[in-house]
Protein backbone atom coordinates (compact mmCIF):
# COMPACT_ATOMS: atom_id res chain seq x y z
CA UNK A 1 0.00 0.00 0.00
CA UNK A 2 1.34 3.39 -0.91
CA UNK A 3 -1.33 5.36 0.89
CA UNK A 4 -2.24 6.81 -2.48
CA UNK A 5 -5.62 6.29 -4.11
CA UNK A 6 -5.27 3.38 -6.54
CA UNK A 7 -7.11 3.71 -9.82
CA UNK A 8 -7.02 0.65 -12.05
CA UNK A 9 -8.19 0.96 -15.66
CA UNK A 10 -9.13 -2.31 -17.35
CA UNK A 11 -8.65 -2.10 -21.11
CA UNK A 12 -6.44 0.19 -23.15
CA UNK A 13 -8.78 0.73 -26.08
CA UNK A 14 -10.25 4.12 -26.92
CA UNK A 15 -12.22 4.38 -23.67
CA UNK A 16 -9.47 3.14 -21.34
CA UNK A 17 -6.79 5.31 -22.92
CA UNK A 18 -9.01 8.40 -22.88
CA UNK A 19 -9.69 7.84 -19.18
CA UNK A 20 -6.10 7.02 -18.22
CA UNK A 21 -4.62 9.93 -20.12
CA UNK A 22 -6.89 12.47 -18.48
CA UNK A 23 -6.55 10.89 -15.04
CA UNK A 24 -2.76 10.98 -15.30
CA UNK A 25 -2.93 14.66 -16.21
CA UNK A 26 -5.45 15.82 -13.65
CA UNK A 27 -5.58 13.57 -10.61
CA UNK A 28 -3.40 14.12 -7.56
CA UNK A 29 -2.10 11.57 -5.02
CA UNK A 30 -3.14 8.63 -7.11
CA UNK A 31 -1.53 5.72 -8.89
CA UNK A 32 -3.00 4.88 -12.28
CA UNK A 33 -2.49 1.35 -13.56
CA UNK A 34 -3.80 0.28 -16.95
CA UNK A 35 -4.17 -3.42 -17.75
CA UNK A 36 -4.51 -4.84 -21.25
CA UNK A 37 -3.72 -8.20 -22.76
CA UNK A 38 -2.26 -6.53 -25.85
CA UNK A 39 1.17 -4.95 -25.99
CA UNK A 40 0.10 -2.60 -28.76
CA UNK A 41 -2.74 -0.25 -29.47
CA UNK A 42 -4.30 -0.79 -32.87
CA UNK A 43 -6.85 1.64 -34.26
CA UNK A 44 -9.83 -0.67 -34.23
CA UNK A 45 -11.73 1.68 -36.50
CA UNK A 46 -9.25 0.83 -39.26
CA UNK A 47 -9.46 -2.96 -39.02
CA UNK A 48 -11.55 -3.19 -42.21
CA UNK A 49 -8.64 -1.48 -43.98
CA UNK A 50 -6.23 -4.08 -42.64
CA UNK A 51 -8.59 -6.86 -43.72
CA UNK A 52 -8.37 -5.45 -47.24
CA UNK A 53 -4.58 -5.69 -47.19
CA UNK A 54 -3.57 -2.19 -46.01
CA UNK A 55 -0.91 -1.85 -43.35
CA UNK A 56 -2.11 0.02 -40.30
CA UNK A 57 0.13 1.49 -37.66
CA UNK A 58 0.57 0.12 -34.14
CA UNK A 59 1.61 1.92 -30.94
CA UNK A 60 3.40 0.38 -27.96
CA UNK A 61 1.01 0.74 -25.04
CA UNK A 62 3.73 0.81 -22.38
CA UNK A 63 5.42 3.79 -24.02
CA UNK A 64 2.12 5.57 -24.65
CA UNK A 65 1.05 5.23 -21.04
CA UNK A 66 4.31 5.61 -19.18
CA UNK A 67 5.10 8.87 -20.88
CA UNK A 68 1.75 10.13 -19.58
CA UNK A 69 2.53 9.00 -16.03
CA UNK A 70 0.42 5.84 -15.90
CA UNK A 71 1.70 2.34 -15.21
CA UNK A 72 1.00 -0.38 -17.78
CA UNK A 73 0.54 -4.06 -16.97
CA UNK A 74 0.27 -6.46 -19.88
CA UNK A 75 -1.93 -9.30 -18.66
CA UNK A 76 -5.30 -10.87 -19.27
CA UNK A 77 -7.96 -9.94 -16.74
CA UNK A 78 -9.41 -13.25 -15.62
CA UNK A 79 -11.68 -12.15 -12.79
CA UNK A 80 -12.94 -9.34 -10.68
CA UNK A 81 -13.80 -9.37 -6.97
CA UNK A 82 -15.76 -6.22 -6.15
CA UNK A 83 -15.97 -7.14 -2.45
CA UNK A 84 -12.22 -7.33 -1.77
CA UNK A 85 -11.62 -4.86 -4.65
CA UNK A 86 -9.18 -7.09 -6.45
CA UNK A 87 -8.66 -7.70 -10.14
CA UNK A 88 -7.32 -11.13 -10.97
CA UNK A 89 -4.80 -11.30 -13.73
CA UNK A 90 -3.27 -14.04 -15.82
CA UNK A 91 0.23 -13.68 -17.02
CA UNK A 92 0.65 -13.92 -20.77
CA UNK A 93 3.41 -15.97 -22.32
CA UNK A 94 6.45 -13.76 -22.84
CA UNK A 95 5.12 -10.90 -20.73
CA UNK A 96 7.47 -9.82 -17.94
CA UNK A 97 4.77 -8.40 -15.67
CA UNK A 98 4.01 -9.04 -12.08
CA UNK A 99 7.33 -8.64 -10.31
CA UNK A 100 6.66 -7.63 -6.72
CA UNK A 101 2.94 -8.18 -6.99
CA UNK A 102 2.83 -11.81 -7.92
CA UNK A 103 1.52 -14.12 -5.22
CA UNK A 104 3.01 -17.56 -4.74
CA UNK A 105 0.63 -19.23 -7.21
CA UNK A 106 2.77 -18.85 -10.25
CA UNK A 107 1.11 -17.55 -13.39
CA UNK A 108 -1.61 -15.64 -11.56
CA UNK A 109 -1.64 -12.48 -9.57
CA UNK A 110 -3.99 -9.73 -8.43
CA UNK A 111 -4.19 -5.96 -8.43
CA UNK A 112 -5.95 -4.06 -5.68
CA UNK A 113 -7.95 -0.95 -6.51
CA UNK A 114 -9.81 1.82 -4.77
CA UNK A 115 -11.54 2.94 -7.95
CA UNK A 116 -11.92 0.78 -11.04
CA UNK A 117 -12.55 1.88 -14.62
CA UNK A 118 -13.99 -1.01 -16.63
CA UNK A 119 -13.31 -0.48 -20.35
CA UNK A 120 -12.85 -3.97 -21.76
CA UNK A 121 -14.59 -3.24 -25.05
CA UNK A 122 -16.13 -5.87 -27.27
CA UNK A 123 -15.40 -8.65 -29.73
CA UNK A 124 -17.26 -10.41 -32.54
CA UNK A 125 -20.35 -12.32 -31.49
CA UNK A 126 -19.81 -15.73 -33.02
CA UNK A 127 -23.06 -17.20 -31.73
CA UNK A 128 -25.28 -15.54 -34.37
CA UNK A 129 -25.84 -18.66 -36.51
CA UNK A 130 -24.57 -22.22 -36.83
CA UNK A 131 -21.20 -22.36 -38.53
CA UNK A 132 -20.13 -18.80 -37.69
CA UNK A 133 -17.60 -19.93 -35.06
CA UNK A 134 -16.20 -22.67 -37.33
CA UNK A 135 -16.11 -21.08 -40.76
CA UNK A 136 -16.54 -17.31 -40.64
CA UNK A 137 -13.87 -14.68 -40.21
CA UNK A 138 -14.45 -11.38 -38.45
CA UNK A 139 -12.82 -7.97 -38.22
CA UNK A 140 -13.80 -7.00 -34.68
CA UNK A 141 -10.37 -7.26 -33.04
CA UNK A 142 -6.78 -7.11 -34.31
CA UNK A 143 -6.43 -10.85 -33.62
CA UNK A 144 -9.35 -11.59 -35.95
CA UNK A 145 -7.92 -9.89 -38.98
CA UNK A 146 -5.97 -12.00 -41.44
CA UNK A 147 -5.65 -11.67 -45.18
CA UNK A 148 -8.61 -13.30 -46.89
CA UNK A 149 -7.84 -15.80 -49.63
CA UNK A 150 -8.45 -14.55 -53.16
CA UNK A 151 -11.79 -15.40 -54.74
CA UNK A 152 -15.33 -14.59 -53.67
CA UNK A 153 -16.07 -12.98 -50.30
CA UNK A 154 -19.39 -12.71 -48.53
CA UNK A 155 -19.72 -10.00 -45.89
CA UNK A 156 -22.61 -10.74 -43.54
CA UNK A 157 -24.21 -7.74 -41.83
CA UNK A 158 -25.30 -4.48 -43.42
CA UNK A 159 -24.42 -2.31 -40.42
CA UNK A 160 -21.51 0.15 -40.43
CA UNK A 161 -18.78 -2.48 -40.14
CA UNK A 162 -20.20 -4.61 -42.95
CA UNK A 163 -20.62 -1.63 -45.27
CA UNK A 164 -17.12 -0.28 -44.58
CA UNK A 165 -15.56 -3.71 -45.02
CA UNK A 166 -17.41 -4.56 -48.25
CA UNK A 167 -16.39 -1.23 -49.79
CA UNK A 168 -12.75 -1.63 -48.75
CA UNK A 169 -12.52 -5.21 -50.05
CA UNK A 170 -14.11 -4.28 -53.37
CA UNK A 171 -11.87 -1.25 -53.81
CA UNK A 172 -8.77 -3.39 -53.22
CA UNK A 173 -9.66 -5.37 -56.37
CA UNK A 174 -8.11 -8.48 -54.81
CA UNK A 175 -11.36 -10.45 -54.88
CA UNK A 176 -13.36 -11.73 -57.81
CA UNK A 177 -16.69 -10.91 -56.10
CA UNK A 178 -17.78 -9.15 -52.91
CA UNK A 179 -21.35 -9.72 -51.73
CA UNK A 180 -22.89 -7.80 -48.84
CA UNK A 181 -25.72 -9.77 -47.26
CA UNK A 182 -28.02 -8.31 -44.64
CA UNK A 183 -31.58 -8.15 -43.38
CA UNK A 184 -31.82 -4.42 -44.13
CA UNK A 185 -30.81 -2.03 -46.85
CA UNK A 186 -27.20 -0.94 -46.09
CA UNK A 187 -27.34 2.18 -43.90
CA UNK A 188 -31.13 1.84 -43.40
CA UNK A 189 -30.96 3.82 -40.14
CA UNK A 190 -29.59 6.90 -41.98
CA UNK A 191 -31.36 9.46 -44.21
CA UNK A 192 -32.66 8.47 -47.65
CA UNK A 193 -29.90 10.55 -49.22
CA UNK A 194 -27.21 8.69 -47.27
CA UNK A 195 -28.77 5.29 -48.06
CA UNK A 196 -28.88 6.12 -51.78
CA UNK A 197 -25.31 7.31 -51.70
CA UNK A 198 -24.10 4.14 -49.94
CA UNK A 199 -25.89 1.94 -52.48
CA UNK A 200 -24.54 3.96 -55.42
CA UNK A 201 -20.95 3.80 -54.17
CA UNK A 202 -21.06 0.11 -53.25
CA UNK A 203 -22.52 -0.67 -56.67
CA UNK A 204 -19.88 1.45 -58.43
CA UNK A 205 -17.19 -0.47 -56.53
CA UNK A 206 -18.74 -3.74 -57.72
CA UNK A 207 -20.30 -4.93 -54.44
CA UNK A 208 -23.35 -7.12 -54.94
CA UNK A 209 -25.94 -6.08 -52.34
CA UNK A 210 -28.36 -8.73 -51.06
CA UNK A 211 -30.71 -6.96 -48.64
CA UNK A 212 -33.81 -8.53 -47.01
CA UNK A 213 -31.68 -11.65 -46.71
CA UNK A 214 -31.18 -13.48 -43.43
CA UNK A 215 -28.19 -15.79 -43.14
CA UNK A 216 -29.22 -18.86 -41.14
CA UNK A 217 -26.00 -20.88 -41.51
CA UNK A 218 -22.40 -20.38 -42.46
CA UNK A 219 -21.02 -23.27 -44.50
CA UNK A 220 -17.40 -24.16 -45.30
CA UNK A 221 -18.14 -22.90 -48.83
CA UNK A 222 -20.53 -19.97 -48.31
CA UNK A 223 -23.78 -19.17 -46.54
CA UNK A 224 -27.32 -20.51 -46.44
CA UNK A 225 -30.18 -17.98 -46.38
CA UNK A 226 -33.56 -18.33 -44.65
CA UNK A 227 -35.20 -19.16 -48.01
CA UNK A 228 -32.70 -22.03 -48.36
CA UNK A 229 -30.69 -20.29 -51.09
CA UNK A 230 -26.97 -21.03 -50.83
CA UNK A 231 -24.48 -18.35 -51.86
CA UNK A 232 -21.04 -19.78 -52.49
CA UNK A 233 -17.77 -18.07 -51.62
CA UNK A 234 -14.20 -18.84 -50.62
CA UNK A 235 -14.58 -16.74 -47.46
CA UNK A 236 -17.31 -15.37 -45.25
CA UNK A 237 -16.81 -12.43 -42.87
CA UNK A 238 -19.34 -12.11 -40.07
CA UNK A 239 -19.96 -8.52 -38.93
CA UNK A 240 -23.48 -9.02 -37.60
CA UNK A 241 -23.06 -8.47 -33.90
CA UNK A 242 -20.64 -7.78 -31.09
CA UNK A 243 -20.33 -9.29 -27.66
CA UNK A 244 -18.71 -7.98 -24.46
CA UNK A 245 -16.58 -9.84 -21.89
CA UNK A 246 -18.49 -11.77 -19.26
CA UNK A 247 -16.33 -10.56 -16.37
CA UNK A 248 -18.76 -7.94 -15.04
CA UNK A 249 -21.69 -10.36 -15.04
CA UNK A 250 -19.59 -13.12 -13.42
CA UNK A 251 -18.50 -10.70 -10.71
CA UNK A 252 -22.13 -9.92 -9.83
CA UNK A 253 -22.31 -6.40 -11.22
CA UNK A 254 -25.65 -5.19 -12.59
CA UNK A 255 -25.50 -5.75 -16.35
CA UNK A 256 -27.94 -5.78 -19.26
CA UNK A 257 -28.80 -8.87 -21.32
CA UNK A 258 -25.59 -8.47 -23.31
CA UNK A 259 -23.37 -8.21 -20.22
CA UNK A 260 -22.79 -4.45 -20.46
CA UNK A 261 -22.43 -2.69 -17.11
CA UNK A 262 -25.50 -0.67 -16.20
CA UNK A 263 -24.37 2.84 -15.30
CA UNK A 264 -25.86 5.87 -13.60
CA UNK A 265 -25.73 9.37 -15.06
CA UNK A 266 -22.09 9.69 -13.98
CA UNK A 267 -21.08 6.33 -15.53
CA UNK A 268 -20.72 4.52 -12.20
CA UNK A 269 -21.99 0.97 -11.96
CA UNK A 270 -25.48 1.15 -10.46
CA UNK A 271 -24.61 -1.82 -8.24
CA UNK A 272 -20.96 -1.02 -7.35
CA UNK A 273 -20.33 2.73 -7.22
CA UNK A 274 -16.53 2.42 -6.96
CA UNK A 275 -16.58 0.92 -10.47
CA UNK A 276 -17.00 3.19 -13.49
CA UNK A 277 -17.64 1.86 -16.98
CA UNK A 278 -16.99 3.34 -20.42
CA UNK A 279 -16.89 2.22 -24.03
CA UNK A 280 -18.51 -0.80 -25.64
CA UNK A 281 -18.72 -2.69 -22.33
CA UNK A 282 -20.86 0.01 -20.70
CA UNK A 283 -24.59 0.60 -21.02
CA UNK A 284 -24.92 4.39 -21.08
CA UNK A 285 -28.23 6.18 -21.51
CA UNK A 286 -28.32 8.58 -24.45
CA UNK A 287 -30.89 10.86 -26.06
CA UNK A 288 -34.45 9.69 -25.33
CA UNK A 289 -32.93 7.19 -22.84
CA UNK A 290 -31.79 5.01 -25.75
CA UNK A 291 -28.38 3.47 -25.03
CA UNK A 292 -25.42 5.16 -26.63
CA UNK A 293 -23.92 3.22 -29.54
CA UNK A 294 -20.98 0.86 -29.31
CA UNK A 295 -18.66 3.28 -31.07
CA UNK A 296 -15.35 5.01 -30.78
CA UNK A 297 -17.47 8.17 -30.96
CA UNK A 298 -18.94 7.08 -27.60
CA UNK A 299 -15.88 5.46 -26.03
CA UNK A 300 -13.62 8.52 -26.13
CA UNK A 301 -16.03 11.06 -24.58
CA UNK A 302 -17.19 8.46 -22.05
CA UNK A 303 -13.60 7.64 -21.03
CA UNK A 304 -12.77 11.33 -20.69
CA UNK A 305 -15.94 11.95 -18.71
CA UNK A 306 -15.20 9.08 -16.30
CA UNK A 307 -11.82 10.63 -15.53
CA UNK A 308 -13.43 14.01 -14.83
CA UNK A 309 -16.05 12.41 -12.58
CA UNK A 310 -13.40 10.53 -10.58
CA UNK A 311 -11.31 13.67 -10.13
CA UNK A 312 -14.37 15.72 -9.12
CA UNK A 313 -15.38 13.19 -6.46
CA UNK A 314 -11.82 13.01 -5.15
CA UNK A 315 -12.13 16.77 -4.50
CA UNK A 316 -15.45 16.27 -2.74
CA UNK A 317 -17.53 17.68 -5.62
CA UNK A 318 -20.50 15.95 -7.21
CA UNK A 319 -19.90 15.72 -10.98
CA UNK A 320 -22.50 16.97 -13.43
CA UNK A 321 -24.14 14.07 -15.31
CA UNK A 322 -22.48 13.17 -18.61
CA UNK A 323 -23.96 15.45 -21.24
CA UNK A 324 -23.30 14.06 -24.67
CA UNK A 325 -24.82 14.04 -28.11
CA UNK A 326 -23.61 12.70 -31.42
CA UNK A 327 -23.00 15.27 -34.14
CA UNK A 328 -22.14 13.01 -37.08
CA UNK A 329 -22.14 9.44 -38.18
CA UNK A 330 -19.30 8.63 -40.55
CA UNK A 331 -18.95 5.62 -42.83
CA UNK A 332 -15.93 5.17 -45.06
CA UNK A 333 -16.66 3.69 -48.48
CA UNK A 334 -13.14 2.77 -49.53
CA UNK A 335 -10.32 5.31 -49.42
CA UNK A 336 -11.87 7.81 -51.83
CA UNK A 337 -15.49 7.99 -50.74
CA UNK A 338 -17.54 8.17 -47.56
CA UNK A 339 -20.89 9.19 -46.17
CA UNK A 340 -20.94 11.68 -43.32
CA UNK A 341 -24.45 11.91 -41.93
CA UNK A 342 -25.16 15.04 -39.90
CA UNK A 343 -27.37 14.16 -36.91
CA UNK A 344 -30.09 16.08 -35.11
CA UNK A 345 -29.92 16.64 -31.36
CA UNK A 346 -32.22 13.66 -30.78
CA UNK A 347 -29.78 11.46 -32.78
CA UNK A 348 -32.10 11.16 -35.77
CA UNK A 349 -30.45 11.69 -39.19
CA UNK A 350 -30.61 15.30 -40.38
CA UNK A 351 -30.96 16.51 -43.96
CA UNK A 352 -27.24 17.16 -44.51
CA UNK A 353 -24.94 14.46 -45.87
CA UNK A 354 -21.32 15.00 -46.93
CA UNK A 355 -20.20 12.55 -49.60
CA UNK A 356 -17.47 11.73 -52.05
CA UNK A 357 -13.84 12.78 -51.60
CA UNK A 358 -14.77 15.52 -49.13
CA UNK A 359 -16.57 12.88 -47.07
CA UNK A 360 -13.51 10.60 -47.23
CA UNK A 361 -11.29 13.47 -46.06
CA UNK A 362 -13.64 14.33 -43.18
CA UNK A 363 -13.74 10.67 -42.07
CA UNK A 364 -9.94 10.38 -42.23
CA UNK A 365 -9.53 13.57 -40.19
CA UNK A 366 -12.00 12.27 -37.60
CA UNK A 367 -10.15 8.95 -37.26
CA UNK A 368 -6.83 10.78 -36.88
CA UNK A 369 -8.40 13.20 -34.42
CA UNK A 370 -9.68 10.26 -32.35
CA UNK A 371 -6.15 8.88 -32.24
CA UNK A 372 -4.75 12.24 -31.16
CA UNK A 373 -7.31 12.52 -28.39
CA UNK A 374 -6.06 9.28 -26.87
CA UNK A 375 -2.44 10.35 -27.28
CA UNK A 376 -1.37 8.53 -30.45
CA UNK A 377 0.32 11.38 -32.26
C1 LIG B 1 -13.87 -2.50 -38.41
C2 LIG B 1 -14.43 -1.54 -37.40
C3 LIG B 1 -14.65 -0.22 -37.77
C4 LIG B 1 -15.18 0.68 -36.84
N5 LIG B 1 -15.39 1.97 -37.22
C6 LIG B 1 -15.88 2.85 -36.34
C7 LIG B 1 -16.09 4.21 -36.71
O8 LIG B 1 -15.86 4.60 -37.85
N9 LIG B 1 -16.57 5.07 -35.77
C10 LIG B 1 -16.84 4.67 -34.50
O11 LIG B 1 -17.27 5.49 -33.69
N12 LIG B 1 -16.65 3.38 -34.10
C13 LIG B 1 -16.19 2.47 -34.99
N14 LIG B 1 -15.99 1.16 -34.61
C15 LIG B 1 -16.31 0.76 -33.22
C16 LIG B 1 -15.15 1.09 -32.29
O17 LIG B 1 -13.97 0.52 -32.76
C18 LIG B 1 -15.44 0.57 -30.89
O19 LIG B 1 -16.71 1.01 -30.48
C20 LIG B 1 -14.39 1.09 -29.91
O21 LIG B 1 -13.13 0.56 -30.26
C22 LIG B 1 -14.75 0.73 -28.47
O23 LIG B 1 -13.74 1.18 -27.64
P24 LIG B 1 -13.47 0.49 -26.22
O25 LIG B 1 -12.35 1.24 -25.62
O26 LIG B 1 -14.74 0.36 -25.49
O27 LIG B 1 -13.06 -1.00 -26.56
P28 LIG B 1 -11.88 -1.64 -27.40
O29 LIG B 1 -11.38 -0.70 -28.43
O30 LIG B 1 -12.42 -2.95 -27.82
O31 LIG B 1 -10.73 -1.84 -26.32
C32 LIG B 1 -10.87 -2.77 -25.27
C33 LIG B 1 -9.51 -3.19 -24.78
O34 LIG B 1 -9.69 -4.11 -23.71
C35 LIG B 1 -8.76 -5.16 -23.84
N36 LIG B 1 -9.31 -6.36 -23.20
C37 LIG B 1 -10.49 -6.96 -23.44
N38 LIG B 1 -10.66 -8.02 -22.63
C39 LIG B 1 -9.55 -8.10 -21.87
C40 LIG B 1 -9.13 -8.95 -20.82
N41 LIG B 1 -9.88 -9.97 -20.36
N42 LIG B 1 -7.92 -8.73 -20.24
C43 LIG B 1 -7.13 -7.71 -20.65
N44 LIG B 1 -7.49 -6.85 -21.63
C45 LIG B 1 -8.68 -7.05 -22.23
C46 LIG B 1 -8.56 -5.33 -25.34
O47 LIG B 1 -7.29 -5.93 -25.61
C48 LIG B 1 -8.68 -3.91 -25.84
O49 LIG B 1 -7.43 -3.28 -26.00
C50 LIG B 1 -15.48 0.25 -35.51
C51 LIG B 1 -15.24 -1.09 -35.15
C52 LIG B 1 -14.73 -1.98 -36.08
C53 LIG B 1 -14.49 -3.41 -35.66
Sequence spans of domains, the chain? 5-122+244-315, 124-241+327-374
Pocket test for ligand 1, best of 8, 11, 16 (most atoms within 8 A of CB): 11
Whether the CB of 45 sits within 6 Å of ligand 1: yes
Whether the CB of 43 sits within 6 Å of ligand 1: no
Q: How far is the CA of 143 from the centre of ligand 1 (A)?
A: 12
Show the beta-strand stretches assigned E in 37-103: 40-42, 58-60, 71-74, 76-81, 86-90
- CA 290 to CA 377: how far, in whole Å? 33
Residue 146 reports pLDDT greater than 90: no
Q: Which residues are within 8 A (CB) of 357 and not within 5 positions of it... i.e. 6 or more apart?
A: 336, 337
pLDDT score at 276: 98
Q: One fold for both 5-122+244-315 and 124-241+327-374?
A: yes
Average pLDDT over every residue of 328-342: 97
What confidence tier does 91 reach under pLDDT thresholds 50, 70, 90?
A: confident
> Can you say whether the dihedral through the CA atoms of 322, 324, 330, 331 is positive or negative?
positive
pLDDT score at 102: 53
- The burial class, CB within 10 Å (0-12 / 13-18 / 19+), for 146 is exposed
pLDDT score at 25: 92
pLDDT score at 359: 97
Select from 3.50.50.100, 3.20.20.450, 3.40.50.300, 3.40.50.2000 the CATH code of 124-241+327-374: 3.50.50.100
Closest Cα to atom 5, ligand 1: which residue?
A: 45
What confidence tier does 106 reach under pLDDT thresholds 50, 70, 90?
A: very low
- CA 171 to CA 257: how far, in whole Å? 37
Percent of the chain with pLDDT over 70: 95
Average pLDDT over every residue of 132-146: 95
Q: How far is the CA of 46 from the centre of ligand 1 (A)?
A: 11
pLDDT score at 99: 46
Residue 305 reports pLDDT greater than 50: yes
Residue 309 reports pLDDT greater than 50: yes
Residue 100 reports pLDDT greater than 50: no
Whether the CB of 168 sits within 6 Å of ligand 1: no
Helix/strand/coil for 74: strand
- CA 106 to CA 117: how far, in whole Å? 26
Contact 34, 73 (CB under 8 A): yes
Closest Cα to atom 35, ligand 1: which residue?
A: 11
Neighbours of 15 (CB within 10 A): 32
Q: How far is the CA of 247 from the centre of ligand 1 (A)?
A: 16
pLDDT score at 109: 85
| Lowest model confidence (mean pLDDT) among 51-60, 89-98, 318-327 | 89-98
Atom of ligand 1 nearest to the CA of 77: 42
Helix/strand/coil for 217: strand
- Domain 5-122+244-315, second-level architecture: 3-Layer(bba) Sandwich (3.50)
* Closest listed residue to residue 161, CA positions, set 135, 187, 184: 187
Residue 121 reports pLDDT greater than 70: yes
- CA 132 to CA 59: how far, in whole Å? 31
Q: How far is the CA of 337 from the centre of ligand 1 (A)?
A: 24
pLDDT score at 93: 65
Amino acid sequence: MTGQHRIVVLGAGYAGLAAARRLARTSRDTTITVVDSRAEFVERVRLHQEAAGQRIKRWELRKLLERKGAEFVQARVSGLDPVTKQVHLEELAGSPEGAGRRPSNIGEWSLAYDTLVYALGSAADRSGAPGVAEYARSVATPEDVRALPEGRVIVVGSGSTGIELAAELAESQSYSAVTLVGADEPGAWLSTRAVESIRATLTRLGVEIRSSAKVVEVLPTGVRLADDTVIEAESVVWTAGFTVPDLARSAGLAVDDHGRIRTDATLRSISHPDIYAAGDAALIAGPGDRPLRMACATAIPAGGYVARAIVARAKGDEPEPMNFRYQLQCLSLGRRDAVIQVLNADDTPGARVIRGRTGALVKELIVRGAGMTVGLR
